[in-house]
Each structure stands twice: as C-alpha cells, then as structure tokens.
C-alpha cells in the first residue's frame, strides 16, 4: 500500500506543479539557472563517458569477430546500433540520475529541512511550481545532450577501431551507413524526453516530501537515485516494446 500511496502522491505533485504559475520574469531566471546546473554542468562527464563507451563497444565487437568471412564493417554497424539505441539514451540517463537526481533531491530536501519551502507557501507561492517546473523545462534540452553523446560515442568507436588497428576507416564508415533506419534516432530522442521528465520529477518528489533532518537528506538522495534508475529501466523496456516491438 505504501507504493500505491507514493504513486498517488507523485501524480498529485505533477498536477500541482503546473498550477498557479510563478511570474515569468522570476521563472525565466530560474529556468536559465537550472539549464546551467542540470544540462551544461553535466556535459563534461557525459562526453567523457560516451567517448570511452563507444571505444569499448568497437573493441569488443572487433575482438569477437574471429571468422574471416564476417566483414569488418560489422564493427561500425555494431557501434552505431549500440550507441544510438541504448548507450546514448539509457546509459546516459542512469548517469544523469546519479549526478542530476542526487543534486535535485539534496537541494530541495535541504530547503525542506531548513523550512524554506514552508516560507514559500506562507507567502502564497506555489512551491512545487517554483521549484520543480523550472527543472522540467530545463530537462527538455536533454535530447541535445543525448545527440552529443551519440556523436561522441560513435567518434570514440571510430578512433578505437581505426587507430587500434581493428578496422580501416572506410570499413568503419561503411558499417555506420549500413542498413541505417532514421526512426532509430527518433526512438532514442523519444526515450530521452521521457527519461528527462523522470529525472526531473522523481528526485524532486523524494526531496519535496522528505521528513527529518540533515541525515535524512543523504538517505533521500540515495533512495531517489535507486527509484529513478528503476523507473528509467522499466520505461526503457515499455518504450522499446511499444516503439520497436
């Protein structure tokens, strides 16, 4: 029953977030601040991890091709499919759930502990709209992060494959172009939009409704990361069945 109550509270929170909006001049500055902290601040780690993930996929594919009849362009093909379909949208989202999600939960949780949220509500401000809505809007830019992760991941695979001596540049690029389905990119972006909403709202829920003191803020951050990751993985399965099944 606790899970059902939590799902209900989460749904109510989403509805309340879009009610009684904050004045636009204030909201604009809040949105720009969240874009800087949630999106721009995460670019470094996303680029770093995507580059090496692409390289690892290319190397592992090359090392598992033992039959000389299998064409070398399979390395580029496997790298493209792995990075676009799963690693860029899903693996990146799990990383964002740890980095961004923990930040969101701890920042909102600290405001709850220090009674800043209570002060907002006393002043007649919709605290959920003030705190959560800017994060949702900022995370709408998340597909751009996923697009960069795709590019960097494939670039990392190309560098690892070519300079590692596993494939020629022509074979790798031929593999990238082999049986390309444009909808796979759209599928990845659709997933990234759903994951972005989850990353913005699930940690916000755990931070906004937490109880206790400073110690509980750390516990709430851990719990929010676990549940955000679980929801992302479940939604990944559902979306894959709906869009590719």
**Which of these, 151, 150, 157, lies nearest to 175 by C-alpha position?**
157
Contact 14, 201 (CB under 8 A): yes
Q: Other C-beta atoms within 10 Å of 25: how many? A: 8
Task: Judge residue 1's burial from the number of C-beta atoms within 10 Å of its C-beta, 0-12 exposed, 13-18 middle, 19 or more buried.
Answer: exposed
For 175-215, the pLDDT digits (tens) are 888 888 889 999 999 999 999 999 999 999 998 888 877 77
Helices 182-208 & 2-17, crossing angle to 10 degrees?
Answer: 100
- State the CB neighbour count (10 A cutoff) for residue 196: 26
Estimate to the nearest angstrom the gap between the alpha carbon of 207 and the chain centroid: 18
DSSP H/E element including 210 = none
- d(Cα 133, Cα 138) in Å, to the nearest integer? 9
Q: Which of 188, 198, 204 lies closest to 234, judged by CA?
A: 198
Q: Please list, in sequence order, all residues whose beta carbon lies within 8 angstroms of the beta carbon of residue 30, skipping any fewer than 6 positions away.
A: 22, 130, 134
Dihedrals phi, psi of 23, to nearest 5 degrees? -55, 145
Q: Is 159 exposed, middle or buried (0-12, 13-18, 19+ CB in 10 A)?
A: middle
Distance CA 46, CA 41 (A): 10
* pTM of the complete model: 0.90
- Residue 237 DSSP SS3: helix
Q: How far apart are CA 112 and CA 90, in angstroms?
A: 31
Q: What is the mean pLDDT of each run of 10 residues along the chain (245 residues)?
A: 81 88 88 91 91 91 79 86 90 90 90 86 86 91 92 93 86 86 91 94 90 81 91 93 85
């Amino acid at each position: 029953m606790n899970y059902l109550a939590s799902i209900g509270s989460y749904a109510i929170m989403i509805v309340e977030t879009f009610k009684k909006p904050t004045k636009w001049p204030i909201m604009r500055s809040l949105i720009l601040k969240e874009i800087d902290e949630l999106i721009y601040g995460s670019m470094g780690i996303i680029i770093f991890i995507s580059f090496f993930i692409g390289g690892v996929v290319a190397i592992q594919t090359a090392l598992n091709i033992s039959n000389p009849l299998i064409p070398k362009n399979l390395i580029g093909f496997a790298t493209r499919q792995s990075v676009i379909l799963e690693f860029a949208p899903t693996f990146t989202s799990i990383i964002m759930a740890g980095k961004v999600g923990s930040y969101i939960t701890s920042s909102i949780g600290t405001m709850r502990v220090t009674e800043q949220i209570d002060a907002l509500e006393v002043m007649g401000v919709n605290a959920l709209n003030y705190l959560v809505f800017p994060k949702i809007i900022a995370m709408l830019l998340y597909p751009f992060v996923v697009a960069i992760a795709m590019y960097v991941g494939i670039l990392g695979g190309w560098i690892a494959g070519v300079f590692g001596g596993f494939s020629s540049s022509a074979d790798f690029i031929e593999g990238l172009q082999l049986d390309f389905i444009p909808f796979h990119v759209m599928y990845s972006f659709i997933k990234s939009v759903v994951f972005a909403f989850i990353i913005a709202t699930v940690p916000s829920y755990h931070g906004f409704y937490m109880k206790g003191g400073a110690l509980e803020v750390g516990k709430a951050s851990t719990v929010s990361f676990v549940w955000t990751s679980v929801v992302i993985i479940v939604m990944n399965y559902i979306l894959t069945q709906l869009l590719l099944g």
